[in-house]
Structure 1
Amino acid sequence: MSKKKVIFLCLLLSALALLMYSALPKSEHAKEKNRQQEKVYDFEQGSGMKFSALSEQKIDELAKLGKVWGLMKYHHPKFISSEANGDEEFFRTLHKILEDHADVNAILYDWVKALDTEIVPEELQAPYRVLASSVQRSPNTGWVKDRQDLGGKLSLELSKLLTAHITEREGAYVSFKNASGYFDMGRERPYYQMKFDDTGYRLLGLFRYWNIIEYYYPYKNQNGEDWDQVLREFIPKIIAGDDYDSYFKTLAELTARVHDSHVNLVGEKRKDVASTFGKYQLPVSFVEIDGRIVIDQVFGDCGLKLGDIVLKIDGVDIQEIAKNRRTYISQSREDTSPVFFRSLLRIDQRNASVAVNRRGKEIVVRASGFAYASEFQISTPSQVMENGDIYYMNAGKMQDAEVDRIMKEHRNTKGLIVDLRNHPKTELSYVLAEYLVSSPTEFALFSMPNRAIPGEFDYTQPEVSGRTANTDHDLYQGKVVLLINEHTISNGETVAMSLRNGKNVVLLGRPTAGANGDVVEFSLPGNIKTRISGFGVFDPEKGPIQGVGVQPDIYLQPTVEGIVQGKDEYIEKAIELIEEEAVFTR
């Protein structure tokens, strides 16, 4: 093409652009001008922000942005319908707030108004309008009424959003699978190519997680944390680093503040929090007895023995190691969490000097670690015991079809031991309850999110188990001992809650893990996966299970002597209880 033709084409295109611009309504001229002047960021490639320190005022302003953004994300029609991209809106607004002398309230107000949506108040309809007595937790949104902090205009706009009561959330950041309260967070993008020195993306990770807990974690109001203060505390922490390790560990520390033993964090190469404490794990499991770390299972030849009381690893006191690692591990209680059990005895090198108390004598063992994880497990198979008088059922090694067969074959035994120290693979809460609980009996209350009111969880109808009119087999007449301890978690706790309603049933052991509710997984920037308990579980009187656990009727503390001798003191005590003449009563 000749040079003259190129010039002519450029002039023609410029004229057409000018003609199109002049055809815009006057009200659109300003908007178009602003769009042309605003810097365009390719947020897929990065946020364009790097900084590592903030003034106290800026920390407060970013905390306000995080809360407003979260409220918008779960309440505004354009975010719920996917018309607006919440992450892009966050980055654009963050750029403006970081400017010197930024009027934060004005910026946030302009942002809300720019979405140009008329919020029409919707009256709550059944089933989303519930009695106050049916509300398990209410949203913490009273701050939107603070006109002094937000300014009158911003407060008014945010308050309007709370009246929208949107129930159709198919494309939302939190969507619901069906008419139930089970929800999904699949819209959260993992940003595989995130650069870990990108401060904008680091803040996005913090604000995403904080708001998920703020609106969609059933136990948020009972975890003992001031969640607003946690947000402010973690802003300087998350921006301080510039690499993957600092980002991952800061997020791990954040998850620890949720106090939920269901929680884990999995990052690059599918490595979780436990992996950050060392490449190798001593191939043992341990139990805490009176504050001491006692080896109770050994899975390989590593130099450690049953009953060893761990004192130090490579010269560092084991209690100091435990305190440090708990900083990054979410635990419903300090004696629980599968991640903690896999983390405490991890080491950096293949071999470590481990000081132990072995049968009253302090020695130093050269212990060897393995590259694979070792976890507590009950390996005893389901079997008859005591000359056929007792049947032992290992719930972690059973399949659904086995329950009916076992109960029919062993219906005349003197007693039944149901071991819940392994995670049950079957729905024993209902199937086995038909043999043990004489009539339909309430055993739990669940709470599910109210999709019309983000941040509210409502109690569902009570969960019921036991014999029904359609049950075609006899009620088991023998004694039943349920074995529980700190490894009994989630479904295992639900099973214990159900079966304990049987007439001749007793719970033996230590309190369960106190982490229950269907697990919900989601992604954080940097392709990091995490999870939380997704709905609440309570006893029929609304008493908590989370952080407390199911309590035993008979408390049993393992002994160092019993561990040294290779005894399973739980099973031995269960047999003793069944053999006694006394009838179980609760």
Structure 2
Amino acid sequence: MEQGIRKPWKSSVLLIVLFIFMIAGCSPSQEAQQLGREKDQEFDQGSGMEFTSLSEQKITDLAKLSKVWGVVKYYHPKVVSGDVNWDYELFRVMPSILEEDSDANSILYSWVHSLGSESIPGELEQQFQFSEESIQFRSSTDWCKDAEYLGTDLSLELSKLLDSNISARDNAYVNFKSDPILPSMDNENPYPNMNFNDTGYRLLSLFRYWNIIEYYYPYKDVIGEDWDQVLLEFIPKMIEGSDYDSYFTTLAELTTRIHDSHAFLIGKNKETITDDLGTYRLPVNFIEIDNQIVISKVINPCGLEVGDIVLKIDGKNIDELLESRRTYISQSREDTASLFYLDLFRTQQKNTDVTVIRQGKTMDISAVGSQQDIQFQVDTKSQAMENDEIYYINAGLLKDGEIDKIMKKWWNTKGLIVDLRNYPSSSLTYELAQYLIPSEKEFAFVSAPNHAIPGEFYYLEPLVSGGSKATNNEVYKGKLVILINEHTISQAEFATMSLRNTDNSIVLGRPSAGTDGNMRVIVLPGNIKTAISGIGIFHPDKSPTQRIGLQPDIRLDPTLEGIVEGRDEYIERAVELIKEGD
């Protein structure tokens, strides 16, 4: 018994000694592996800068600092390799820029020049050399060569830097470690303990986001904003606040300026920007008809009825409410965005006065809010219709492997209706296309960032679908009607692009969201998360989809009468189109 106790004790001591030895033995190599930027801890407790106002000249100087900081961040070998903590270098140079009557160009030249330029320029590897026809977009760096704007010395320094051509970016702030196509921002420091009255960190957040959009956003050319002007506009907005709420709402407003419905904002406590709009939602769905917001579905009894035209909520005109939501919720098109739909009817109080037009009469309703999740989904189940002559597929309710079962069972129907007004739960893009399109056919181009040249996006080989399950070109012979509307977003748009290549197909409905391309998450100081569409998606002729949406072959706008009667006019019209061939 005694022996049985002592043996484990001796083993434990031996293990502890070995563990200590291993730690002591490993620490030098671990320290050697630590990147230079990780060893720099000077500003871990704060940048030391707090100010709330600036002259116009200093705003202009800070904008120039942001642009220079960004181009060096993505082009200089020492920063790309992780040798330099470029966030903290920003804090080191910013006080000098802010000094009254300082010469920003001279300060910036000395700062950049101090990094050295021994490894610039570099050879551009052949795999990253793309023909002009293959280039989708280039961010303009002409300003780097503008001696009048930067001064001769700084202009020459930055111009030389643009030829660095660095493709190895595992340690860069934007890297391609996990995917050769999709950029990753996971090397950015989230600074979870940021003090929100720290002006330096607040500006770092703005500069980080602004430069990611400048160099790694495939749709910067279609955002419809002067991005340089946005920078000048948000510098004073960012420094005016001194607390978390002002920081968070300013970032929310900033993210709307790229007009991308993939954008969201999640705060340090995992809250969304829309949580501030109220904890209650009116438990209804709505639709826009003739520029009016119409209740299309009542999820829980709340005082509102299907067909009500909403004029005011809590005394606010509906147009005013729409505009206020657009300040903080990004939309690719003004009639889209999942968060926009979910949060238009958020309220602070459970009971809210709502002014509506009901059956031609204006009335005030005391509506009851709910804290449950609201979904804008078509819940019609996949099913046979018209005496089994037509099969309806709800893309949002599909399960893995179900496409094969459906196509085998309903192969001889007169038509299929594929409802993409929901987000597809199973990928139709390739699976269904194999039954509908006899041979592989191009349906989209993708653009991706050039590893070696930040700000340059190039087209990959075109994407194709169809072919493999069509035996002897025996494809489905019936009609295909694809249903889309403003809720058709991202993967649903991608699927539509593929399936509309079917010879006997019709796309019916309203334009889609115009938001396509894999989402990329960006972490900003304070551990605030947002996102962008990280790759570009284009039609086979390379015409854009972002902010435009897919256009239906036949436009269909639901009617107030149809909504009140509880009819799905999309499905009704699809059935008519299929039967027209009888």
Q: Could you tell me the TM-score, scaled by structure 2's length?
A: 0.91
1:299-358 per-residue CA deviation (whole Å, 9 max, x = no partner) reads 112111111111001111010111111122211110000111122111111110000111
Aligned residue number for residue 49 of structure 2: 49
Q: Per the alignment, in what secondary structure is the counterpart of residue 355 of structure 1?
A: strand
1:366 Cα deviation (Å)? 0.7
Is 1:132–2:132 an aligned residue pair? yes
* One-letter code aligned to 1:125: E
Deviates more, 1:508-517 or 1:84-93: 84-93
Aligned residue number for residue 528 of structure 1: 528
Aligned residue number for residue 388 of structure 1: 388
Aligned residue number for residue 241 of structure 2: 241
Aligned residue number for residue 69 of structure 1: 69
1:45-82 per-residue CA deviation (whole Å, 9 max, x = no partner) reads 11111111100000000000000011111111111111
Equivalent residues of 1:274, 1:340 under 8 A apart: no
Aligned residue number for residue 113 of structure 1: 113
Aligned residue number for residue 328 of structure 2: 328
Is 1:214–2:222 an aligned residue pair? no
Equivalent residues of 1:297, 1:376 under 8 A apart: no
* One-letter code aligned to 2:310: V
Aligned pairs (5 A) from 1:384-463: 384-463=384-463
1:179 Cα deviation (Å)? 6.8
Aligned residue number for residue 365 of structure 1: 365
Among the aligned pairs, what percent are the same residue? Answer: 56
Aligned residue number for residue 13 of structure 1: none
1:117 Cα deviation (Å)? 4.0
2:132 and 2:473 mapped to 1: Cα distance? 41
Aligned residue number for residue 267 of structure 2: 267
1:179 and 1:560 mapped to 2: Cα distance? 47
1:388 and 1:473 mapped to 2: Cα distance? 25
Aligned residue number for residue 167 of structure 1: 167
Consecutive unaligned residues of structure 1, counting only runs of 5 or more, are 1-39
Equivalent residues of 2:438, 2:473 under 8 A apart: no
1:508 Cα deviation (Å)? 0.6
Q: Per the alignment, in what secondary structure is the counterpart of residue 497 of structure 2?
A: helix
Aligned residue number for residue 341 of structure 1: 341
1:381 Cα deviation (Å)? 1.4
Is 1:319–2:280 an aligned residue pair? no
Equivalent residues of 2:192, 2:268 under 8 A apart: no
* One-letter code aligned to 1:403: I
1:42 Cα deviation (Å)? 3.9
Label 1:292 to 1:486 Cα distance change in 2 as closer, same or farther (>3 A): same
1:258-293 per-residue CA deviation (whole Å, 9 max, x = no partner) reads 011111111133221222222211111211111100
Aligned residue number for residue 517 of structure 1: 517
2:245 and 2:120 mapped to 1: Cα distance? 46
Aligned residue number for residue 232 of structure 1: 232
Equivalent residues of 1:238, 1:247 under 8 A apart: yes
Count of residue correspondences: 543
1:214 Cα deviation (Å)? 0.2
1:150 and 1:119 mapped to 2: Cα distance? 23
Aligned residue number for residue 485 of structure 2: 485
Consecutive unaligned residues of structure 2, counting only runs of 5 or more, are 1-39
Aligned residue number for residue 198 of structure 1: 198
Equivalent residues of 2:438, 2:474 under 8 A apart: no
1:465 and 1:581 mapped to 2: Cα distance? 26
1:178 Cα deviation (Å)? 5.8
Q: Per the alignment, in what secondary structure is the counterpart of residue 128 of structure 2?
A: coil
2:233 and 2:577 mapped to 1: Cα distance? 51
Aligned pairs (5 A) from 1:556-571: 556-571=556-571
* One-letter code aligned to 1:566: G
2:521 and 2:533 mapped to 1: Cα distance? 9
2:45 and 2:301 mapped to 1: Cα distance? 49
Equivalent residues of 1:119, 1:160 under 8 A apart: no
Q: Per the alignment, in what secondary structure is the counterpart of residue 214 of structure 1?
A: helix
Equivalent residues of 2:42, 2:88 under 8 A apart: no
Q: Per the alignment, in what secondary structure is the counterpart of residue 136 of structure 1?
A: strand
Label 1:129 to 1:179 Cα distance change in 2 as closer, same or farther (>3 A): farther
1:389 Cα deviation (Å)? 1.1
1:469 Cα deviation (Å)? 8.2
Aligned residue number for residue 149 of structure 2: 149
Label 1:564 to 1:120 Cα distance change in 2 as closer, same or farther (>3 A): same
2:547 and 2:95 mapped to 1: Cα distance? 40
* One-letter code aligned to 1:70: G
Q: Per the alignment, in what secondary structure is the counterpart of residue 232 of structure 2?
A: helix
Equivalent residues of 1:278, 1:348 under 8 A apart: yes
2:346 and 2:92 mapped to 1: Cα distance? 42
1:421-477 per-residue CA deviation (whole Å, 9 max, x = no partner) reads 110122211111111112211111110000110000001111111114885884111
Q: Per the alignment, in what secondary structure is the counterpart of residue 489 of structure 1?
A: coil
Runs of 4+ deviating beyond 6 Å: none
Q: Per the alignment, in what secondary structure is the counterpart of residue 416 of structure 1?
A: strand
2:538 and 2:474 mapped to 1: Cα distance? 30
* One-letter code aligned to 2:496: A
Q: Alpha carbon RMSD of aligned pairs, Å?
A: 1.5
Q: Per the alignment, in what secondary structure is the counterpart of residue 464 of structure 1?
A: strand
Is 1:537–2:537 an aligned residue pair? yes
1:176-219 per-residue CA deviation (whole Å, 9 max, x = no partner) reads 13673212110111111111111111111111110000000001
1:113 and 1:374 mapped to 2: Cα distance? 55
Equivalent residues of 1:434, 1:471 under 8 A apart: no
Q: Per the alignment, in what secondary structure is the counterpart of residue 401 of structure 2?
A: helix
1:579 Cα deviation (Å)? 1.4
